[in-house]
Structures are given as C-alpha cells and as structure tokens.
Amino acid sequence: MRRNNKNETKLEKKLHRKNSQENNHSQFYYSFLTVILLVCFIQMSVSALLNVTKIIAYHRKMSTLESKRIAAEARNTNLKKEIKNFSTTESMEAIARNNLKMAKKDELVVILNKKNAVLPEQKNKHKKVGHKK
C-alpha cells in the first residue's frame, strides 16, 4: 500500500508538473496573441486616422479646384464676349487707327505728348556745389 501511495504521489506530481507546464504554455500563447491583437488594433487605428486626414485634405483641394474652375469658366466667357466685340471690322479698324495714329477721311488726329523727363545733362547743371574745407 505504501508503494501504491508512493506511486500515486509520484504520478500525481508528474501530472501536476505536466498540467502546470501546459498551463504556462497556454498562458504564454494567450499573452502572445493579446500582444499581437493590440499591435494590430494600434496599426488599424493609426491607418484610419491617416485616411481621415487625407480625406479632409482632398476635400480642401477639391473645393479650391472647383472655385478655380468656376473662375476660369467666367474668364472664358468674358474672353469669348471680347472676341465677338473685336471681330467686327469697325472695332478692328478703330483699334488699328488708334495704335497706328491714323485718321479716317474727314477726321483730325490730335496727339498730346507728355512732359519730357529731365535729361541727365540738365540734372548736372542744377546740382549745388559743395563746400570745400
């Protein structure tokens, strides 16, 4: 009986050791999985935050581009109107006469000159002579 008890105690100790080793392995495994899951969660959170900031930046760019497109379309319509205005022969003739300083029959061209700038030679004459020591 004593032998049986000793064998049983040895067997129980072995089983206890084996169970504790398995317990340690499973605890390590679950801890490792927890760490991996936390890292994945952090990675997903960071990438989601970056995507949100990119979306906001793209919306800003889209709004600025939209306003530029509207301004360009308005300028385009104005230029089309100006082309229509200048495409007539009368307006072309008026522009050419103005630039070439020509007149129609029975017209008089008056050219007004602006006041001439002071020449460098005239500046030297007007300079005051400094006192010598």
Domain segments of the chain as ranges: 2-113
* pLDDT band (50, 70, 90) for residue 51: very high
Identify the pLDDT of residue 56: 97
Other CB atoms within 10 Å distance of the CB of residue 55: 10
Query: At 97, is the pLDDT very low, low, confident or very high (cuts 50, 70, 90)?
Result: confident
Kindly report the CA angle at 36 between 32 and 37, in degrees rounded to 5? 115
pLDDT at 133 (0 to 100)? 43
AA identity, residue 114: K
